Amino acid sequence: MNPLLEDFNTAPFSKIYVADYKPAVKKAIEITKQEIEAIVANPEKTTFQNTTEALDFTGQKLGRITSIFFNINAAETSDEIQKVAKEISPWLSEFKNDMILNADLFKRVKSVYDIKNSLDLNPEQTMLLEKQYKGFSRNGANLNNDDKDKLRKIDAQLSKLTLEFGEHVLADGNAFEMHITNEDDLSGLPESVKDAAQLLAKQKEKEGWIITLDYPSYIPFMTYADNRELRKKLAIAFGKKGFQENENNNEQVVLDIVNLRHQRANLLGYKTHAHFVLEERMAETPEKVISFSNDLLKKAKPAAEREFANLQNYAKKLDGIEQLQKWDSAYYSEKLKKELFNLDQEFLKPYFQLENVIEGAFTVANKLFDLTFEEVFDIQKYHKDVKTYQVKNNKGEDISILYADFHPREGKRNGAWMTSYKSQQIFNGINNRPHISIVCNFTKPVLSFDEVPTETQPSLLTFNEVTTLFHEFGHALHGMLANTTYNSLSGTSVSWDFVELPSQVLENWCYEKEALELFAKHYETGEVIPMEYVQKIKESASFHEGMQTLRQLSFGLLDMAWHAGESPETINSVKKFEAKAFSDTQLYPDVAENCMSTAFSHIFQGGYSAGYYSYKWAEVLDADAFEYFQEEGIFNKEVATKFKEHVLSKGGTEKPMILYKRFRGQEPKPDALLKRAGLL
């Protein structure tokens, strides 16, 4: 029996073989089709219960299987898994189209929608009905048969291309390594980084040290290595992913994706892909997003230009650098920051042992939301590095299962993300609790090599990694505390420009003395982080905020340029198009060998197309929300309970602004963000 087709609670990783995925997906699609057929063939009068609600509860098995598969494809992939992904993605795309373009099914959904005002529905039921109807109407249910066929072809091509895009980025990233044999070339690097590089070389049976494009290797090298030529070599390799003359080149892939998305939007009656996407977001239109971005740009650009000039002068004074390049940015920023605030990321690391930071995040969640986390060892995992936790509330009731996967390895994509293996929903009177996962790429514990390998040094995080962990844990809380009837509205199933609020707001606790005292303890002495460091962390929080804001805005505006333009078919050079999109936000000279778009996985592989602006959008929300906590106390139970009840547990059951105002008592104002960023 295929383990994926059996009934299971937590994912049965140890029993699953790669060969199981295809037959399981095929069978689960058949089962879901039968469930849909039963709704369509129901002879009784069409009702909310036997149509809208019934449809939301279809496809449970398919959802579980595909969530396991695609999570593995991101965190523990292989050539075989990537091959399966290429085969099953078009099936899923075709199945989705079969459902949306099923005229009899849409007729039933529409007949409920047409009488919605007479049905006495609660807000969640109303939202489900609207979302479901729009899911059909916005994706081709009203098209004629020829256009439906065109849509099917476009969707099949898109699912293939986005997978290909990700494979190319991963392959180029894995193919590069910088092998160093002269220890002088490591000048400036902290011992822990050298040890990790030496361990990597040993694992690959080479002498010396190996630096890769994985973040825990790449970022410290770019931040601390004195050898400018090697920083340049590494930065160019990082920026070349998907932009080389090899089989992983993504230039045509990008143009094809952009053109197909545009054709799809036009086919559905929208001016551009961005108009299609944003209709269902808080921002509503590309015009609003561009205006929001340009307003912030106006406020941030003067500060960014001042910071850049200051950094350039500093590099010139220090090392005679006439023109600051991209590979100088992290290096001189870190030196200047250290000088201004007497704050060294490496000096802070001993206070941020990974296990303590995890415990700190759990303690914050306990103080705010009454949650407890117990590591358990009877839940199957897909890799030995993964940790599993049982999450309960203060009444001892099960809230969630949490998986946590913290270290880089070859089959895992870069970056950090939260995902789910099982959504929360209430079905047949039972509240099915969610299974949530966070995935990061933090430095592994390393052996220190003297004469012989000695005891392992634990995984020590930079402060940036601490905020990353809290960020993903904020998403996880959104998933774990979900408490809705329908899984399609549960947890992080919210408007994309609202989804970053829980994650970004939680980062704020990393800067607060009251929170840091809970977990920032020296891994050898147990000494709590000295308060002058906490003060410096707070003071340095807005260091180079102008440049950081400009960088984020540049990514959002590039995304808009790709997806809000009316004639993408006229674009023939990805590099030239990108350079034009960056012209208002550019500080550093362009690097001819590099291109951002060909590795911009957020928008060409992930779900952020026409949505990258949402990071900044959510920052306005998070600064405003945290200001409320600061006013009342960062562990104030009343404010925390409001946030849990009106934001974290409600998912997408009502419009985001309604939920936010219920929590905050007012609409968010950008002033809190500008004040925090020192841009007022």
Please count the other Cβ atoms lying within 10 Å of the Cβ belonging to residue 380: 14
Nearest one of 233, 226, 239, 223 to 330, comparing CA atoms: 223
- Quickly list DSSP for 635-654: T-HHHHHHHIIIIITTTTSS
The radius of gyration computed from the CA coordinates of the chain, to the nearest angstrom, equals: 25
Residues with Cβ within 8 Å of residue 444, at least 6 apart in sequence: 196, 216, 407, 408, 459
Q: Can you tell me the distance from the alpha carbon of 501 to that of 629, in angstroms, rounded to the nearest whole number?
A: 14
Alpha-helical (H) ranges within 320-382 are: 329-341, 345-348, 354-369
Residues with Cβ within 8 Å of residue 623, at least 6 apart in sequence: 672, 673, 675, 676
Helix (H) or strand (E) holding 457: strand 453-457
Q: Can you tell me the distance from the alpha carbon of 314 to that of 321, in angstroms, rounded to the nearest whole number?
A: 9
Nearest one of 637, 642, 617 to 504, comparing CA atoms: 617
- On the CB side of 548, CA atoms within 13 Å amount to 15
Contact 414, 214 (CB under 8 A): yes
Contact 653, 484 (CB under 8 A): yes
- Cα dihedral sign for 124, 130, 136, 138? negative
Q: Can you tell me the distance from the alpha carbon of 191 to that of 221, in angstroms, rounded to the nearest whole number?
A: 12
- Would you state the structure tokens that stand for residue 169, as one six-digit string? 């980025």
Q: Where are the beta strands (DSSP E) in 340-452?
A: 371-375, 387-393, 398-405, 417-422, 425-427, 430-432, 435-439, 446-449
Q: Can you tell me the distance from the alpha carbon of 606 to that of 604, in angstroms, rounded to the nearest whole number?
A: 6
Which of the residues 472, 507, 545, 619 is marked catalytic?
472
Q: Can you tell me the distance from the alpha carbon of 510 to that of 466, in angstroms, rounded to the nearest whole number?
A: 7
262-298: b (≥16 Cβ within 10 Å) or e: bbbbebbebebbbbbbbeebbbeebeebbebbeebbe
SS3 246: coil
Question: Which phi-psi region, left, alpha or beta, contains residue 120 (left: φ > 0; alpha: ψ -120 to 50)?
Answer: left
Strands 387-393 and 371-375: antiparallel
Q: Can you tell me the distance from the alpha carbon of 651 to that of 648, in angstroms, rounded to the nearest whole number?
A: 6
Between the two ends of the chain, the Cα-to-Cα distance in Å is: 63
Contact 159, 142 (CB under 8 A): no
Contact 157, 260 (CB under 8 A): yes
Nearest one of 476, 507, 483, 482 to 615, comparing CA atoms: 507
Q: Could you give the C-alpha distances from 295 to 289, 305, 497, 609, in angstroms and in order? A: 10, 16, 17, 21
User: In the annotation, is 472 catalytic?
Assistant: yes
Q: Can you tell me the distance from the alpha carbon of 446 to that of 69, in angstroms, rounded to the nearest whole number?
A: 31
Active-site residue list: 472
